[in-house]
Structure 1
Amino acid sequence: MNDTMAWAPLMAELDRWQAAGRIADLWLRDDDAVEPTPALDRLLALTGEHDVPLTLAVIPEHTGAALAARLDRAPWAEVAVHGWSHHNHAPATEKKQELGAHRPVDIVLGELGAGFDKLAALHKPRFVPMLVPPWNRIGAAVVSGLPDLGFKALSVFGAEKSGPLHLLNTHVDLMDWHGTRGGRDHGVLATELAARLKLVFEQGGATGLLTHHLVHDEQAWLFLETLLALTKNHAGCRWRTAAALIL
């Protein structure tokens, strides 16, 4: 499949939005940021070039002033809370979880409160009171305690469900975690984005793209670069900050 054919479903759907006089809201979440790296510089350069807001899910325990100083030069980036340490507490028989029911809920909430406070202090102008659970998994009892910590939103992967917090999910994952562990096929990704936009056209909501800059291969980088270039000036869509979508 050539590049034009690969992107055709997405571009056709965006053209439909434009023809209807509507604008699709897109947002970009990138997970596991901790410190300045060449990969982070590449992501910031790419999003900055195309005027695309970027939501970085930052791991509180392992980050510090160096990342804050780097992001001072990237005003289009905002920061959300990515758990506490990104440590798996589930047994080998279960899927990985940091925020599940494997520890007392008060301990989990204590860590999340510490993470909230640390990132809010480090990233005052760009901090978003949104939790991004590591591995996109979180226990119901933990979710119930988030509002008391100051969280206004929760972001996982997949369709949104009702709960005590605003949900701003991601819906298309750039990475092939169960195969090559690199970037997925561009045509498949474009088709998935088009399918999400068709759903949103009828039901409302935003469309979230999930990336992981630290493990991108050239396939992943090329998809992201092409997507941002194609959507930059398209009248049928706009890239939004998480803050604008939840607050």
Structure 2
Amino acid sequence: MTDDQIWLPLRQELDRWQQAGRRARLWLRDDDAIEPTEALESLLAITGQASVPLTIAVIPASTGEALAKRLLRENHILVAVHGWSHANHAGPEEKKQELGRHRPADLVLGELRDGLVTLQGLYAPRLVPMLVPPWNRISAELIPLLGAQGFDALSIFGRTTADSPIRLLNTHVDVVNQRGQRGNRPHADLVAELVAELKARFSRDDEPVGILTHHLVHGPSEWKFLTRLFEETGKHPGAAWMSARDLLD
């Protein structure tokens, strides 16, 4: 299958949105930032060149001035809180979690509050008071308590639920991970997932489609996919890349 054949379904779906006089809302979230790296430079370059707004989930306990100085030079970047230290507290037979039931809720919430305060000090107006749980997992008991810690929104993976006690801005297509596979995901599979999300919203456009990236583990396949994705969507009248702040406002 050629590249054009791989991307044709997305083009056709966006054409459908255009013909209906509508624009599919897209947003981009990248996880696990700590410090400036060559991989981060690549991400900043391709999103900047494509004018795609990017929200970077930063790990508060491990970051500092170096990353802040670099990101504050980019006008298309917002920052969210990526847990506290991205430490796994789950048992060996469980899925990894930092924000699970393995520790007292007061302790976990205190760390999250410290993380928000830390990033507020580093990023000021660039910070979105949105929590991005490490591994996209958080105990259900903690979610109603996030607002009291200063968070306005939560971003995990999967379609939102109507009864959430806090605003959700989720991601839906993970460029790197799927069912145990890490990296080198077939581009045809990624396009198919994106098209499926768009089709689900055509009749009920109740939430934007979030693309999730992890710059530190990207290889040539991931960079190629993102570059082509931005080319296909950036100037298409049926699509609109939006910032997390605009979507939450």
Shorter chain as denominator, the TM-score bin is over 0.9
1:186 aligns with 2:184: no
Q: What is the one-letter code of the residue matched to 1:38?
A: E
Alignment partner, residue 214 of structure 2: 212
Alignment partner, residue 130 of structure 1: 130
Q: CA–CA distance in 2 between the matches of 1:219 and 1:19?
A: 32
Q: State whether residues 130 and 152 of structure 1, in contact with CA within 8 Å, keep that contact through their aligned partners in structure 2.
A: yes
Q: CA–CA distance in 2 between the matches of 1:183 and 1:70?
A: 28
Q: What is the one-letter code of the residue matched to 1:53?
A: P
1:17 aligns with 2:17: yes
Alignment partner, residue 77 of structure 1: 77
Q: Secondary structure at the match of 1:93?
A: coil
Q: What is the one-letter code of the residue matched to 2:221?
A: Q
Q: State whether residues 99 and 139 of structure 1, in contact with CA within 8 Å, keep that contact through their aligned partners in structure 2.
A: yes
Structure 1 pair 177/206, CA: closer, same or farther in 2 (3 Å)? closer
Deviation at 1:53, TM superposition (A): 0.3
Deviation at 1:79, TM superposition (A): 0.2
Alignment partner, residue 116 of structure 1: 116
Q: Which runs of 4+ in 1 moved over 6 A?
A: none
Out of 227, 232, 239, the residue aligned to residue 230 of structure 1 is: 232
Q: Which segments of 5 or more consecutive residues in structure 2 lack a partner in the other structure?
A: none
List per-residue Cα deviations over 1:44-90 (Å, max 9, x = no partner): 00000000000001000000111110012111010000000000000
Structure 1 pair 180/109, CA: closer, same or farther in 2 (3 Å)? closer
List per-residue Cα deviations over 1:147-192 (Å, max 9, x = no partner): 0011111000011112111111100010145555213111111111
Structure 1 pair 199/178, CA: closer, same or farther in 2 (3 Å)? closer
Deviation at 1:196, TM superposition (A): 0.3
Deviation at 1:100, TM superposition (A): 0.5
Alignment of 1:3-152 (within 5 A): 3-152=3-152
Deviation at 1:8, TM superposition (A): 1.1
List per-residue Cα deviations over 1:205-233 (Å, max 9, x = no partner): 10000000000010010000000111111
1:167 aligns with 2:171: no
Q: Which segments of 5 or more consecutive residues in structure 1 lack a partner in the other structure?
A: none
Q: Secondary structure at the match of 2:130?
A: strand
Q: Secondary structure at the match of 1:57?
A: strand
The percent identity for this pair of structures is 56
Q: CA–CA distance in 1 between the matches of 2:127 and 2:78?
A: 6
Q: What is the one-letter code of the residue matched to 1:229?
A: E
The alignment covers a number of residue pairs equal to 247
Q: CA–CA distance in 2 between the matches of 1:110 and 1:179?
A: 32
Q: Secondary structure at the match of 1:123?
A: helix
Q: What is the one-letter code of the residue matched to 1:107?
A: L
State the superposition RMSD in angstroms.
Answer: 1.0
Alignment partner, residue 203 of structure 1: 204
Q: CA–CA distance in 2 between the matches of 1:165 and 1:202?
A: 25
TM-score (norm 2): 0.97
Q: CA–CA distance in 2 between the matches of 1:90 and 1:12?
A: 43
